[in-house]
A and B are shown apart, each in its own frame.
Chain A
Amino acid sequence: MDAPKAFELRNVGVRFDGFPALLGLNLEVRRGECLAFVGPSGSGKTSALGVLNGMVPPATGSVRIREVDLSSIGVSAIRKLRVEIGVIPQDLGLVPNVRVYQNVMAGRLGRQSFIGSLRRLIRAPRRELQEVMHFLKRLGIENKIFQRTDSLSGGERQRVAIARSLYQGANTILADEPLSALDPARARETLALLVDIARENHMTLVLSMHDLALAREFIPRLVGLKNGAVLFDRATGDISPEEFEELYNLESKERHG
């Protein structure tokens, strides 16, 4: 039996300043599934990820998160849904001049009252620090816990962002180009880690990425986006080399209009 739906997009269109970023995207993602949007720059990958947690409002179509239609609920209800969705943006979204543990602890802000979060900012409870330490240890950067975040390397900061999603207790991770700032060896290691962590914790993982070789090696389902439209959406093994070629072939755009 299929797992329940984590996301369901029906004919979703997104426009930025009048320019189309997504054209009629249809997508179903099951809970615990791992998939990646692939495609050239400007193909709509980031917009697609933004739609999945309600940060980018669709101009047309409907978005359902865990069977809840976003158009039927208010701002605060959407915010509650976001609490369950971890986001790793391309720039990582970390506060550079605070400690690593503070960035990780920020993952749970959506679950805390304002006063509770302020108390934690002033003085982190020992038990929660131990929890942060546990996740950082899993990611191999436990010795960085009290360091300023901007003193870490790109790979280490990537891990801090992953630790934040783990600490958040999210059931889903949306990661936008998580490998873009990493060297090939580090990129492979990080992707393997993300996929492992998602599998271990039964999380839904949706990524956007450029590196087709890595995507084919680690991600079981790929959605090819080009000029805002879906070129293919299948199990990775079923996608032909010609389809991958067409995805990145700039000439094909002219050929097919």
Chain B
Amino acid sequence: MGLAAVASWFLLDLHWSGLLPAAEGDSILRLFFQGAVSPALDYEADYVPKGTTPFLWKVAEAARTTLIFAAGGMSLALVFGFVLGFLGATSWWPRETHRRSDWRCLSCYLLPVMYSVVRLLIASMRSIHELLWALFFLAALGLNSFAAVLAIAIPYGGTLAKVFSEMLDEAPREAAQSLRSIGAGPLQVFFWSLLPQALPDACTYTFYRFECAVRSSAVLGFFGYPTFGYYIRLSSENVHYREVWAYLYALFAIVFVLEFWSSFLRRKVVMR
């Protein structure tokens, strides 16, 4: 790590002076942090046309849209994650598959091929960032909601699938082995033993990814979707930092609420 730090310092041509504010940068910084102390409750602009939606209502509207895109993306990502996570795990395979002891066992040959294909698919889904997916889908589908949902769902689905499959493979195997030894099939082993054991951690991770999806959904606004990013960019370009902070505080609030909601659900439902 030390070597990497030294190498990147020289390769990236870093200088301490880069940390100092550029010309007039210090006044912008001051303005920005002043906004944090007194976030806007109304438009900062001197002239606002009559009939314009009240500012706080607009913040609420941005919050709602951000949440809807995040929830839409995550629900599709969960389906991808569950199906590909299952197909990308090996712990549910019949014992014979690992040994290839019986030439008549078709699954002994099919499952490893399917596993490799699925792992490749999972890797390719998550290797491209959601913003790049958003760029592709914007070009292909235009500025419609489905493009944003897919842009979140694909990389998040890949990440969930990778983590779910690892959770399934790392779940204790004793119960699975015991069910196999009394004649349970591979899918029964999965649903009755591996899934219940992996579920608490999988739920915690899913909630965490939902928080990330809220952030991603907010950033998608920079591409023109009516989420936080869109309004933050507009306010920022107009140097209305108090408005920017109002949106940021709304984003914090959402993440806090999600945090409490997830720990409540985990305590009451998953760990019960």
Chain A contacts to B: CB under 8 angstroms: 53, 55, 57, 74-75, 79-83, 85-87, 89, 91-98, 102, 106-107, 109-112, 114, 117-118, 121, 148, 164-165, 168, 170
Q: Tell me the B178-202 residues at the A interface (CB within 8 Å).
A: 178-185, 187-188, 191-193, 196-197, 199-200
**Could you say which residues of chain A place their CB within 8 Å of the CB of B94?**
75
A109, B99: Cβ atoms closer than 8 Å: no
B95 contacts the other chain (Cβ, under 8 Å)? yes
> Looking at A92, A95, A168, A170, which has the most chain B CB atoms within 10 Å of its CB?
A95
**Could you say which residues of chain A place their CB within 8 Å of the CB of B192?**
95, 102, 106, 109, 117, 121
B188, A87: Cβ atoms closer than 8 Å: no
A95, B193: Cβ atoms closer than 8 Å: yes
A89, B178: Cβ atoms closer than 8 Å: yes
**Could you say which residues of chain B place their CB within 8 Å of the CB of A86?**
182
Given the complex of chains A and B, what is the CA–CA distance between A87 and B177 in angstroms?
A: 10
Q: Tell me the B154-188 residues at the A interface (CB within 8 Å).
A: 172, 174-175, 177-185, 187-188
CB proximity of A166 to chain B, nearest CB, Å: 12
A95-B192, A95-B197, A117-B192 given as contacts; is B183 within 8 A of A55 (CB)? no
B191, A118: Cβ atoms closer than 8 Å: yes
**13 A-B residue pairings within 8 Å (CB atoms):** A55-B180, A85-B181, A87-B182, A89-B174, A95-B193, A95-B197, A96-B197, A106-B184, A109-B192, A111-B183, A121-B191, A121-B192, A164-B182
> Looking at B99, B102, B182, B196, which has the most chain A CB atoms within 10 Å of its CB?
B182
User: Nearest A residue to B171 by beta-carbon distance?
Assistant: A95
B101 contacts the other chain (Cβ, under 8 Å)? yes
**Could you say which residues of chain A place their CB within 8 Å of the CB of B102?**
74-75
CB proximity of B109 to chain A, nearest CB, Å: 13
Additional A-B contact list (15), CB under 8 Å, known A95-B193, A107-B182, A164-B182: A55-B177, A57-B99, A75-B96, A80-B183, A89-B174, A91-B174, A93-B177, A95-B196, A96-B197, A97-B196, A97-B197, A114-B185, A114-B188, A118-B191, A165-B182
